[in-house]
Structure 1
């Protein structure tokens, strides 16, 4: 397991991505200095994990180290806008993803054990337990009697997906319209940049995993903007179920591009404070996504997106 031992820690990976987001939001350019203390203050962490995250970014060629000046940004932040595909993943993240894929394909049972997963994935006990803890924290599994875990209900069937859209059609627009909704401006700017960078890719290079990450972040931003704590908690819990594999199976790149344009249209109105229009557009967006028929956007309310969406 020597190779696995050299894998980066999940918290260092998360912090590395946060550093990239911060320098993008702050408008840092190529060659900008990245003092550890300043980055620690911007990310609200201590210098020790910042040092590890900067080393990780240095290994990936995104940051460079010079003895005279310290760490400097080696890339244009826009280059890394679409997602974190250039960063490696922690071993527990890979195991967690493998567990979800295998459960989605019914290759493993509803009830699982650490010992069974250790044998299945030829992984260390520590990494498997971290993966299980991660899935438990994300509310995807729960402890069962003895040394086992059981999968919670998920969006793994047509009936469950239909119920999911019914829930979202009620709750997400309501979150926007509830008194006190607040949009995280910096987060919205970063999301817009990532969406526009994704749309700039040709169809052959369109990154479906990046779309899934951006889509999840967009809807999470809406959930977390709700002033009503019960709405926010219910939506946040439901969004975790959408991480399961297969959510985008059978959906064309055309539809994913169309969905991204719809997100941008909704964001336009959120940023301008036109919450009622944003809620209406979100409702139309969810209806089209539920149908998963690209041509449906040419009929009825969804056609509005063509009028307000930003061009490529």
Structure 2
């Protein structure tokens, strides 16, 4: 199982709950209860429980769910090592180092696996995991025959702003689709996530978690449109924009305002004021583009520096 950073974080949080709450063997672990405690959706909780089942931390009973297999008395570092989550952290850290080097122009457009393995001191397993993640997200692909190539489209300074211009055309329109329907449970989950970030999560979240939070929010709204073409487009653009958007995570002072804007959009949709929500999400995206223009200037300067 290839565990990415979000699933890794949730797995660790479930382990910490079992340990700090001193839950005994046989304690039932309903996915919804854990999702509520961790303020996430059920899917990543189920993925984390499946991993913990593979590793013997929890048991699974047909049609009953997951249960604590045994009390956890080891240190968190020992448990993390046993679960292989430390390996996942190495992969995630290397992923961001490669992205940073690529955006700075210090990696060639075409590269070999040996170059990445040697430059970042990776094992064969770590190399396969990080290249698999990069390929899945669409900013590099294997060349026919030998070697790899980065996507030039995703490494130009204005690529991120271009992706936002596409979203600017799509997302406000999605809220006006005749079949738009945002489930109450989805709305409340989005709201809980924004409130958690406002109450300390912005400082403690990883770059991956901040990015995924934004992706989940905006994809949830587009998915509510019921328009399959809109949904496919937003999913495609979000798969490839991580490389460019993660760089903005260093400027976290803008996130409280983003959270408040997201909450305002949810309030409008809850009151079925979709016209106003559509207009506001356009302003929200324009505000973000204005902030990102500064990052574009930084990227351009870095790539043009000797």
Instruction: State whether TM-score is above 0.5.
Output: yes
TM class by shorter chain equals: 0.5 to 0.7
The partner residue of 1:51 within 42, 53, 76 is 53
- Give the structure with the higher percent helix: 2
Q: Deviations for 1:220-273, whole angstroms, at most 9, x for unmatched residues?
A: 322333322121111111112331156554985443211111111111222333
For 1:290 and 1:98, the matched residues in 2 are separated by 24
For 1:18 and 1:192, the matched residues in 2 are separated by 22
2:261–2:284 Cα contact (<8 Å) kept: yes
Residue 219 in structure 1 maps to residue 218 in structure 2: yes
1:195–1:260 Cα contact (<8 Å) kept: yes
Q: Deviations for 1:254-294, whole angstroms, at most 9, x for unmatched residues?
A: 4321111111111122233332221111001011111129x
User: What RMSD over aligned residues (CA atoms) do the two structures have, in Å?
Assistant: 4.0
TM-score (structure 2 length as normaliser): 0.66
SS at match of 2:138: coil
- For residue 100 of structure 1, what is the aligned residue in structure 2? 99
Structure 1 residues 16 and 55: alpha-carbon distance in aligned structure 2, compared to 1, 3 A threshold = farther
The alpha-carbon deviation at position 159 of structure 1 amounts to 3.2
For 1:189 and 1:9, the matched residues in 2 are separated by 29
For 1:142 and 1:275, the matched residues in 2 are separated by 40
Q: Deviations for 1:130-159, whole angstroms, at most 9, x for unmatched residues?
A: 221222222222221222222224454443
SS at match of 2:200: coil
SS at match of 1:168: helix
Q: Deviations for 1:31-86, whole angstroms, at most 9, x for unmatched residues?
A: 788536x549x756797534247849xxxxxxx9685xx68xxxxxxxxxxxxxxx
Unmatched 5+ residue regions in structure 1? 1-7, 25-29, 57-63, 72-86, 294-312
For 1:197 and 1:264, the matched residues in 2 are separated by 12
The partner residue of 1:10 within 3, 6, 12 is 3
2:160–2:241 Cα contact (<8 Å) kept: no
- For residue 172 of structure 1, what is the aligned residue in structure 2? 171
* Number of residue equivalences: 253
The more displaced of 192-201 and 100-109 is 192-201
Unmatched 5+ residue regions in structure 2? 33-41, 59-66, 73-84, 293-306
Residue 35 in structure 1 maps to residue 34 in structure 2: no
The more displaced of 112-121 and 151-160 is 151-160
- For residue 237 of structure 1, what is the aligned residue in structure 2? 236
For 2:201 and 2:137, the matched residues in 1 are separated by 33
For 2:206 and 2:5, the matched residues in 1 are separated by 25
